Chains A and B, each alone.
Chain A
Amino acid sequence: MSTDKIFDLAHSTVRELNQALHDLNGHQAGPRFEVRNAQGEHALAVGIAAPLIVDILGHVGYYCAGMNQHATVTIQGNAGTGLAENIMSGVVRVKGNASQAAAATGRGGLVVIEGDASARCGISMKGVDIVVQGSVGHMSGFMAQRGRLVVCGDAGAALGDSLYEAEIFVRGTVADLGADCIEKEMTAEHIVALDELLVRAGITARAADFKRFGSARKLYHFNIDHADVY
C-alpha cells in the first residue's frame, strides 16, 4: 500500500481524517497521508497506532499527534499546545515552533522541534526523547520522570523543577534551575548517547557542547529539613 492519501481539510473534517488513520490501527503498513490546509485545526492525527507516514502541511492547533504509536508525523509549520502529548512511540517532527507543553507526559518515541518550544516543554515526560533545535520556555522538564530533553538553544526559568529520573541537556544558557535540579557531569558515555540521539533527530550539533542536568534526588523522600523547597 504505497498510494498517497490526501486529506484537504478545506473539504474534509478532522473526524474523517482521524477515522481514516484509525482504520489502519494495528496494521503493519499503510499509505502515506498528506494533510493539506491544516489551518490550525486541533487534534489532528491523534491516536494513530500504526507505522504510517503523515505529513501535515501548515500550522496545527492543540494536541497534534497526541498519544502517537509507531507513526512518523511531520508538521510543515508551527504546532499549538500539547504537541504529541503522551506519545508512546514513533517520531513527531515540527519544522517550525511548538507552543506549551510539547511532548507532555510522553512515554516513548522521539519528538523533534526544529524551531523553539514554549513553556513546560517535556512536562511530566515519562520516557520520550525530545530534541529542540531552538530554545525552550520556563518550567520545561517540570516533574520529568524518564527520557531525555535536549535543548540546543537556551532554557527558560525553573528548568527541571521537581525532576525525577529524566535527563536534560542544554547547549546554551539556563535562566535558572528548578527545585532539586542540578548540573551533573557530562561523561564520555553521555556524549556518545547524546550524539546518537542528535543524529537520529537529524539535528547538527556536537554533544560535547552540552551541559547535563538531572535530579539531586533530595525530594524523593519527605524531609522536614527540605521544607523550604517544597
Chain B
Amino acid sequence: MTTQDPGLHESYLFNRDVIHEIQRAATEGIYDIRGSGAKRYLPHFDDLVFLGASMSRYPLEGYRERCDTNVVLGTRYAKKPIELKIPITVAGMSFGALSAQAKEALGRGASAVGTSTTTGDGGMTSEERLSSKLLVYQVLPSRYGMNPDDLRKADAIEIVLGQGAKPGGGGMLLGQKINARVAGMRDLPPNIDQRSACRHPDWTGPDDLEIKIRELREITDWEKPIYIKIGASRTYYDTMLAVKAGADVVVVDGMQGGTAATQNVFIEHVGIPTLAAVRQAVEALTEMDMHRKVQLIVSGGIRTGADVAKALAMGADAVSVGVAALIALGDNAPGLDAEYRKLGSAAGYYDDWQAGKDPAGITTQDEELSKRLDPIMGGRRLANYLRTLTMETQIIARACGKSHVHNLEPEDLAALTVEAAAMAGVPLAGTRWIPGRF
C-alpha cells in the first residue's frame, strides 16, 4: 500500500489501525468496548438497485397516485394486532444506555408519524410510555425491570434472543452509567458494571420458548402481539424455530445493527450481514407458508428510504432503525465537534456510547448532559427523519409501479456485486444469474 510519503509502504495486514489497536491492548490490558454497529465494509443494500418501470412495467404518478405504507403486526394469534402507519419502527434501546430524555424523544418522534418504539434492557420508563402511542416491551435475558404491570401496559411484547451486533452475547452497562434511578430499576447497586445475561433464565431451546410464549400470552389474555428478535447468524433455522415457537412477528437484526456497549471484536466478527439475513428469513417463512402471516421486521444498517424499500422488496414487512434514530436526535452533530475532540473523538466518529459522557445528551445518564437534549425538539427531528424515509420509500415504490410499499418484490431488484447477488438471492444486474441457484 502506498502512502503519501514515497518509499514508505504500509502493511495491509499490519496497517496503522491494527498497530494502534495492538499498542492500545498492550497498554490497557482490556478489549476495546464501544457502541454503534459494524464499521467495516460489508455487502449491504447499497449493493442492490431497483429496476424502475419502463416498457414492461407501469409506474405510478409520484405526486398524485396513492402508495400506501401501513403495516399490521401480530395477525397470527394476538387479539389486538397493532397497525403502524409507516413500515419503519424504532428499535429497542434501553433506558440506561440512553437518557430518559432520549427515550422520550424517540417516543415522541415515533408517535408523531404513527409508528412504534421499543423499550430495552432495563425496563419501561414512565416517560417513554407516556410519549409512545405504540410501545413494544422487550423481554430480555436479564429481565431487568421486568414487571407484569408494564407487560399489560405494552402494545406488543418482544422476546429478545439476540442482537445483530452480538449474536450469542449478553449486554453490559458500565458502572459510570448506573445512576440511582437506573440501578433501582434493575435491582442492583449503583456504579457497578452490569452484565446482562446472554441466555434467558427460565427456558432453554425452542420447545421451552413455545411454553414461555404461552405463559406471556396467558398473562396478557392473548391480547398482545409477541415478537421474537434474533441476531442474524443461522437465520434460516432461527426463523423457522421462532415460527414454530409461536411468534406473531420475527425481528431479524443483522450484524450492522447497533449496540450501546459491546466489544469491538464481537461487533465486527460475529453474525452475518443484514442482506443475507433478510433472504434467509424470507425463505424460511415462505417454505413454512408463513410469509406475511408471521410478519418480518428487519434491522441492522437501515439509513435511507432506499434501504427500507430494498428490505421490503426482499420480503420484510417493516424495518427498525436504531443508530439512525440516534443520529436524527442529534448524535454526532457537527456543532459538537469540539466537545467530541476533547473526548478523543470527533463529530462523525463518536461511538463511545458506553462511557456516559455523550455531549449530545443521548447516551448518558449524566444529569447535566442529559438536559442538553430537548425531547420535544429531538422528537421533531426524528419525526422529520422518519417522514423522509417514508417518502423516499414511496418514491421508489411508485417508480416500480406499486400502490403499496409491500408490493415491492425481489423481481424489482438487481445486484451490483456477485456477493450481493448471492446473499440477497437476486440476479446480478444485466444477467439472470443468481449465484448458487442457476
Which of A's residues lie within 8 Å of B, judged by CB?
14-15, 18-19, 22, 42-43, 46-47, 49, 61-63, 66-67, 69, 81-82, 85-86, 88, 100-101, 104-105, 107, 120, 123-124, 126-127, 142-143, 145-146, 162, 164-165, 220-222, 224
- State which size class the interface on B falls in: 20 to 34
Report whether A66 and B215 are in contact in the complex, using a CB–CB cutoff of 8 Å. Answer: yes
Assess whether A107 is in contact with B146, with CB atoms less than 8 Å apart. yes
Q: How far is the CA of A100 from the CA of B142 in the complex (A)?
A: 17
Chain B positions within 8 Å of A120 at CB level: 201
26 A-B pairs within 8 Å (CB atoms) are namely A18-B221, A43-B219, A49-B148, A49-B149, A62-B203, A62-B208, A62-B211, A62-B212, A66-B215, A67-B219, A81-B202, A81-B211, A82-B203, A105-B202, A107-B146, A107-B147, A120-B201, A123-B202, A124-B201, A126-B143, A143-B195, A145-B188, A220-B189, A220-B193, A221-B175, A224-B30
Given contacts A49-B149, A101-B202, A146-B188, 5 further A-B contacts (CB under 8 A): A46-B219, A88-B148, A107-B187, A124-B197, A145-B188
Which residues of B have CB within 8 Å of A124?
A: 142-143, 197, 201
**With A47-B218, A61-B211, A101-B202 as given contacts, are A86 and B148 in contact (CB-CB < 8 Å)?**
yes
Are the C-beta atoms of B193 and A63 separated by less than 8 Å?
Answer: no
Contact across chains for A18 and B218 when beta carbons are under 8 A apart? yes
Docked-complex contact B212 and A63, CB < 8 angstroms: yes
* Residue pair B195, A47 in contact (C-beta under 8 Å): no
Pair A47/B219 contact, Cβ less than 8 Å: yes
User: Which residues of A are found within 8 Å of B175, using beta-carbon distances?
Assistant: 220-221
- Expressed in whole angstroms, the Cα–Cα distance for A47 and B146 within the complex equals 13
A145 with B187: CB separation less than 8 A: yes
Q: Tell me, rounded to whole Å, the shortest Cβ–Cβ distance linking A207 to chain B.
A: 25
Residue B214 interfacial (CB < 8 Å): yes
Question: Which single member of A61, A104, A107, A146 contacts B201 (CB below 8 Å)?
Answer: A104
A-contacting residues of B (Cβ < 8 Å)?
Answer: 29-30, 142-143, 146-149, 151, 175, 186-189, 192-193, 195, 197, 201-203, 208, 211-212, 214-215, 218-222
Give, as a whole number of angstroms, the nearest-CB distance from A106 to chain B: 10
Determine the chain A residues whose CB is within 8 A of the CB of B29 once the complex forms: 224
A126 touches B202 (CB 8 A): no
Nearest 8 CB-CB pairings of A with B? A47-B219, A126-B187, A224-B29, A82-B202, A67-B148, A220-B192, A105-B143, A63-B215
List B contacts of A69 (CB < 8 A): 148
**Contact A43–B187 (Cβ < 8 Å):** no
What chain B residues lie within 8 Å of A22 (beta carbons)? 221
- Separation of A164 and B162 alpha carbons in the complex (Å): 24
- In the complex, what's the smallest C-beta–C-beta distance from A132 to chain B, in angstroms? 17
Asked if A63 and B201 make an inter-chain contact with CB atoms under 8 angstroms apart, the answer reads: no
Is the Cβ of A143 less than 8 Å from the Cβ of B219?
Answer: no
For the complex, what is the distance from the CA of A123 to the CA of B201, rounded to whole Å? 6
Distance in angstroms between the alpha carbons of A107 and B143 in the assembled complex:
10
Shortest CB distance A15–B (Å): 7
Task: List chain B residues, Cβ under 8 A from A18.
Answer: 218-219, 221
**How far, in whole Å, are A100 and B175 apart by their CA atoms in the complex?**
31
Question: Which B residues lie within 8 Å of A47 (CB)?
Answer: 148, 218-220
- Give Cα distance in the complex from A105 to B147, angstroms: 10
Chain B residue with the shortest CB-CB distance to A162: B195
Q: Which of A22, A43, A100: most chain B Cβ within 10 A?
A: A43
On whether the beta carbons of B187 and A127 are closer than 8 Å, the reply is yes
Chain A residues, CB < 8 A from B208: 62, 81
A86 smallest CB distance to B (angstroms): 5
Closest to A85 in B: B202
> B219 contacts which of A66, A82, A127 (Cβ < 8 Å)?
A66
Cβ-closest chain A residue relative to B151: A67
A49-B148, A62-B211, A86-B146 known; A14 and B201 CB under 8 Å? Answer: no
Of A14, A15, A86, A222, the contact of B193 (CB 8 Å cutoff): A222
Which residues of A sit under 8 angstroms from B211, Cβ to Cβ?
A: 42-43, 61-63, 81
- Chain A residues with CB under 8 Å of B212's CB are 62-63, 82
A54 to chain B, nearest CB (A): 14
- Bound together, the chains give a CA A104 to CA B143 distance in angstroms of 10
Looking at the assembled complex, report how far the CB atom of A63 sits from the nearest CB atom of chain B, in whole angstroms: 4
